[in-house]
Amino acid sequence: MNAKIDSASVLAQWEADGAERRKTMVKSGVSRPEQVAALSGVEMFQAMLAGTLPFAPIAETNDFVLIEANLERAVFQGRPQLRHNNPLGSVHGGWIATLLDSCVGCAVHASLPAGKAYTTAELKVNFVRAVSERVGLVRAIGSVIHLGGRMATADGRLVESDGKLYAHASTTCFIFDAP
């Protein structure tokens, strides 16, 4: 019984977090280089969360939202919907992979100093159970494992409010001087 109560309170908090983020993060787009050149990764994400910089258009396309971005951690959440389904009636793996790619890549990005950028060199996703619109709200939580001068690695988990794991991912990112 306590697990259901905990899950319900976690879900309520997630719903509130998402609603709060959607109030401030109202414009999608791509920041101009001069807007972000002097910002560290975490400063850039804090500006997105505050609504002073646009959030990435991919989040609007796939209807998910950035919840948190701190040093070595990024969290996104989304609600699987019928429009995300593949022909078999479950959520397309691309939607799941996009959420996981976002959380792991942004965990790395949030950890970078001003003047540095990254690109994904490898993304590996493991699907451990099917996702459908009946699953409800899910979170993709990414954490940096290693942050070096030229390479970073991170892991991510896609979970429901009760902690049930649906998929997990790992990434390797190359770090370079921002153009």
Q: What is the pLDDT of residues 28-78, one digit of tens each?
A: 999 999 999 999 999 999 999 999 999 999 999 999 999 999 999 999 999
Cα distance between residue 59 and residue 87, in whole Å? 23
Would you state the pLDDT for residue 121? 98
Would you state the pLDDT for residue 68? 97
pLDDT band at 4 (very low <50, low <70, confident <90, very high): low
Q: What is the pLDDT of residues 155-165, one digit of tens each?
A: 999 999 999 99
DSSP-derived 3-state class of residue 106:
helix
Domains along the sequence of the chain with CATH:
2-177 (3.10.129.10)
pLDDT for 20 beyond 60? yes
pLDDT for 179 beyond 90? no
- Answer with the residue of higher pLDDT: 179 or 151: 151
- The model carries a pTM of 0.94
Would you state the pLDDT for residue 26? 86
